[in-house]
Structure 1
Amino acid sequence: MSRPGDYENGRDWLRAELADSLDEEIEIELEDSLLSQQIAEIYDRAHPDLMRRSDYLRALLRLQAELIRLQDWVVHNKEKVVVLFEGRDSAGKGGVIKRITQRLNPRVVRVVALPAPNERERTQWYFQRYTPHLPAGGEIVLFDRSWYNRAGVERVMGFADDRQVDEFFRDVPDFERMLVRSGIRLVKYWFSITDEEQQMRFLTRIHDPLKQWKLSPMDLQSRVKWEQYTKAKEEMFARTNIPDAPWYIVEGNDKKRARLNCIDHLLSLVPYEDVPSEEVTLPDRVYNKDYERAVLPRELYVPSKY
Structure 2
Amino acid sequence: MNAVKLPKGRVYVAGHRGMVGGAVVRLLQELGIADSDLLTRDRSELNLTRQSEVERFYAEERPDVVIFAAAKVGGIHANDTYPAEFIYDNLMMAANSIDAAYRNGTRRFLFLGSTCIYPRMAPQPMPEDCLLTGPLESTNEAYALAKISGLKLCQHYRTQYGALFHSAMPTNLYGPGDNYHPSNSHVMPAMIRRFDEAVRTNAEEVVIWGTGTPRREFLHVNDLAQGLVHLVNLDDPPNLVNVGTGTDISIRELAELIAKVTGFTGKIVQDPSKPDGTPVKRTNTDLIQSTGWSPKIDLETGIKRTYEDYLQATESGCLREV
Q: Same-fold call, TM > 0.5?
A: no
Larger Rg, first or second structure (1 or 2):
1
Q: Which structure dedicates a bigger proportion of its chain to helix? A: 1
Q: Using CA pairs under 8 Å that are at least 6 residues apart, name the structure with larger relative contact order, 1 or 2.
A: 1
TM-score of the pair, normalised by structure 1: 0.33
TM-score of the pair, normalised by structure 2: 0.32
